[in-house]
Amino acid sequence: MQPYEHDKAYFNVDTVTQFCRGVRLEDLNNQSKSKKGTAWLDDRSRPCIPELVPNIQGRRRITSVNHSSNAPARPETTLLQNLNVEIQTREDSTQANPASSSSASLEPRKYAQCLSANELYSHLHEKRFDHANLKDTDRRLIYIADPDPCDILALTATASEHQANALRDVLWQFLDRRTSIKARVEPMGYQVFQLDLHLPYYALRTTPPEKFQRHEKHRTQSDWMDLSPLNDGVADGVKVIHQAQFSLVICGTDNSRWVAYAFEAISFDPDRGDDTVLPEWRSDEISMGELDANNPLHDVREYFLNIFLIRAKHVYEETRELVRFIAASYKRNGQRHAFSLTQGISEFYVGSQRTNAMSVAKLNALYIAN
């Protein structure tokens, strides 16, 4: 990925390069010393014909019926309209691609549930197709929680040319906390489609007092907001609003050959991603463990819509909890005192001026951000 084009630095590229400034491939080995791996990778081959069409009997050819004797003959293929793809019967497929008969001898690509940047780079550096020992990767899922410059470098150093635009888009929109839902197909050149989903939101969490003091020293303005003045009656910690973000982009060349890049800012949930790995179940981290990666969805539209539904529901639940907390705080404090329109809509006459000022400030910040 090049940061400049025609001697001009674009804003989206500059955002990413500023974040990753100074990091080199040699630094990937050092990342594991500073934090645990937060990357997740899942590679799957396109289903073979018996998996897609279990009712095909032997090597029977299925031909189309044409009542016009003058019409040219159609290719002898089986049309799966519900999958929107045209595939050959078992006999035709083996003849057209002799190598497919030996694909069963290749090893499936299996990875640990949590990967460091160096491990991710090593896996992505392997050939995606026509590998001597591993199966082809028609569908690839990449998820990284709280990516750092090393994680991003592992992706940019291994992305193919037709994935570069999609990767640039998802990186800068994630880093810039953008909101976007988009689908597009390149009108010219190499035909690549792209599906985008970017959802910023706020999450309410309770932080132990001692941990709150440590974070207060290192926080940035965009990380989180202190709600301690609204903590009336909360003894187990300090209420904090964390700014979170989920970003997903899927790019590919057809309905079952594509790559998904997903990033999430969830440093306030350190236990996320520590799902138990079982032989019969592998949590799909992009879906928050709702989907089983061992039972993959190969149709790109079906997968995108499933993730959209899961993530939208999660954002709704987080927002609902935050609104309920602020509303309850207002009921405890604001409604005890008179309110006068003559003093202005934003003025509340309450015993604790600091509490109400904080309530208004937080609500204004949420309104502006959304």
- Cα angle for residues 22, 23, 29 (degrees, 5° grid): 150
| Residue 309: pLDDT over 90 | yes
pLDDT bin (cut points 50, 70, 90) of residue 74 is: very low
pLDDT bin (cut points 50, 70, 90) of residue 239 is: confident
Percentage of residues of the chain with pLDDT beyond 90:
33
| Residue 86: pLDDT over 60 | no
Which of 42-46, 176-180, 306-310, 352-356 ranks highest by mean pLDDT? 306-310
pLDDT at res. 139: 95
pLDDT at res. 142: 97
- Which stretch of 79-83, 155-159, 222-226 has the lowest confidence by average pLDDT? 79-83
pLDDT at res. 71: 42
3-state secondary structure of 171: helix
- Which stretch of 33-37, 238-242, 307-311, 340-344 has the lowest confidence by average pLDDT? 340-344
DSSP-assigned letter for residue 270: T
pLDDT bin (cut points 50, 70, 90) of residue 341 is: very low
Residues 6+ apart with CB under 8 A from 106: 131, 133, 134, 135
Q: Does the predicted model carry a pTM greater than 0.75?
A: no
3-state secondary structure of 330: helix
pLDDT at res. 193: 94
Which of 8-22, 192-206, 257-271 ranks highest by mean pLDDT? 192-206
8 A C-beta contact, residue 202 and residue 50: no
Which of 215-224, 324-333, 357-366 ranks highest by mean pLDDT? 324-333
Mean confidence (pLDDT) of the chain: 73
pLDDT at res. 83: 38
8 A C-beta contact, residue 315 and residue 202: no
Per-residue burial over 223-239, b = 16 or more CB atoms within 10 Å of its CB, e = otherwise: ebbbbebbbeeeeebbb
| Residue 115: pLDDT over 90 | yes
CA separation, residue 244 to residues 26, 161, 321 (Å): 30, 30, 14
| Residue 200: pLDDT over 70 | yes
63: Cα separation from own chain's centroid: 42
pLDDT at res. 84: 44
| Residue 356: pLDDT over 50 | no
pLDDT at res. 332: 75
5-17 tens-digit pLDDT: 444 444 466 666 6
DSSP assignment of 12-64: HHHHHHHHTTT--GGGHHHHHHHS---EEEEEEPPPPHHHH-TT--TT-----
* For residues 124-137, average pLDDT: 91
| Residue 95: pLDDT over 60 | no
* For residues 185-205, average pLDDT: 88
| Residue 346: pLDDT over 50 | no
Which long-range contacts link 47-55 to residues 24+ away (Cβ below 8 Å)? Answer: 47/298, 48/100, 48/103, 49/87, 49/88, 49/89, 49/90, 49/93, 50/90, 52/80, 52/83, 52/87, 53/78, 53/80, 53/87
Provide the residue type at 170 as one letter: V
pLDDT at res. 104: 56
| Residue 152: pLDDT over 80 | yes
pLDDT bin (cut points 50, 70, 90) of residue 174 is: very high
pLDDT bin (cut points 50, 70, 90) of residue 317 is: very high
Phi then psi for 212, rounded to 5 degrees?
A: -60, -40
Q: What is the rounded distance in angstroms from the CA atom of residue 122 to the CA atom of residue 139?
A: 18
CA separation, residue 56 to residues 1, 49, 52, 78 (Å): 45, 9, 9, 10
| Residue 345: pLDDT over 80 | no
Which of 25-34, 314-323, 348-357 ranks highest by mean pLDDT? 314-323
Q: Which residue has the higher pLDDT, 211 or 221?
A: 211
